[in-house]
Structure 1
């Protein structure tokens, strides 16, 4: 890979904020490290990347991101092992996906060498923010948005690519019960569901709030055409264990190609767990729950890794799942995290060391 360190404009913070942070009581995504990565696109090309102190941006109110929603993002994590080595987990997947998302929103592709050189330099500069210990990590948020001034309905000619980082503890969202959506959909055929477009997430908040009023924490979205097939759980991909078989919906232009999701599928196959990637109907899960064949449901994603789902609701009925000691959810979470923290063999080559 071409080394661009000499091309990075590095502006170090005068002092660090790290001694003001209580790492034992972090609220996810609310504390940010000393530095951030920034690169502007104008005149048809990406400019010199900059790493500078974390701080506010100055943008015109007519910046197109505010009017036409040209914004996509990614979620990644950095981990520190007991020898103070820094690791990323399948970062090329995130890089490829942010460019895939950008393409769908007519945003220019970001150069691979800029992304990795900028990200790794940023992580080394703020390495003290990556706390050791199983469950501790640094959440990484790359994103790109349209910054050109103007309110005409057309793609922007200027953009800003950024990376900001936030220290995180083991993510625990409490007991999670979900509602199967009867009316609302996350995405439709031909839409932007497969992209990590900012608007996808903003559109989820209202129906999720309605579900919370009924005592649920998340929604499992159903297909836009018939509402007969289950697709994603909130901001996570979702898995169902029917008997000893693991089932999950296929990716499509409606469903995000989750990095954790594809890792779970690979691990399942490697450990001879029967896994099927196919459409999953609401009726199939209702029948499995009533017969006792539905053993588990869990979501997968970067922030949570694996999030067990304890029950679900549909059309006014509520269903509880059994509590299983040797659950698939626990197995996948433990296995993935040991790989991420360099505590287990990485036979798939998923770890990426920041040197």
Structure 2
């Protein structure tokens, strides 16, 4: 079993690490305070191809494997999570649906501009009464001639204020429940599309989340993504596809926190000696390092399984659950090690602590991941019984 990464991925890792360390991280506090990523950072991100990670080379992207994307996301996780979320949401749930389910014409129209970052992608599923229960969405799409008329609203849509391309789920046949939901590619300049309130959030500053509204919005029938009635299944596949990438971002953030905590433990003097010499601090650091190492192995195993086209529904759910829980535990220990300094906004530990909390909620809550895992265990049990 060889855990060595290909040389081209190692080179790419070094490039992104240098970019993060020298061009993003020095601006992290500015981004946090202004709640805005500077244009210079976004332009450099475009030059590095960071908006085309998931998009095939034939459409202008880099077309990385899941393994490759996890390498990049791990490095991006080592800086302000709001910036990383813009990149991650675009490459993940914002564009994967078109890559996986789009027609040749749809790919040719949207992917080249998404690959360069000229058009940002977003994913619109959640509604006021449909969060974890995604099948309960109320947004409707009624076929009229060669168009669908969409009415409804979505909430908590990452990238909504600046996205141009939205993967939107709407009900085309209310009588069929989840099988009556269809995916659409929606452009922000379609008449009847409107961005609503931009949320003020606990964390992820620099990444913006907003409501969007559809008011008799006309969508051409050629913008149906996949087949009519398969939107719910598509949504689940799109969300599952991104779980390894999200966990890789959590991994990078955990590594950052461990590095900061280890350095602080050696520098902070209490009772006449560095606090690292206190056994409890050593235990905190050891526990952080152990969980990080386990998470790293899990991330790259699931990434490899994904690239081998293996069924990773259970493993991806486990990884998203574990990655988000580890991030929160590591962030909590980092605050405790830093003491009062960890609670001060001028120091990055406090920011990572707040940013960690959303990872247990967005793109599928921890509770939903447990439901998915249990359902897959049940299926495996039933198959075992049938084969016995």
State TM-score, norm by structure 1: 0.29
For CA contacts below 8 A with separation 6 or more, give which structure has more relative contact order.
1
State TM-score, norm by structure 2: 0.27
| Higher percent of residues as helix | 2
| Higher percent of residues as strand | 1
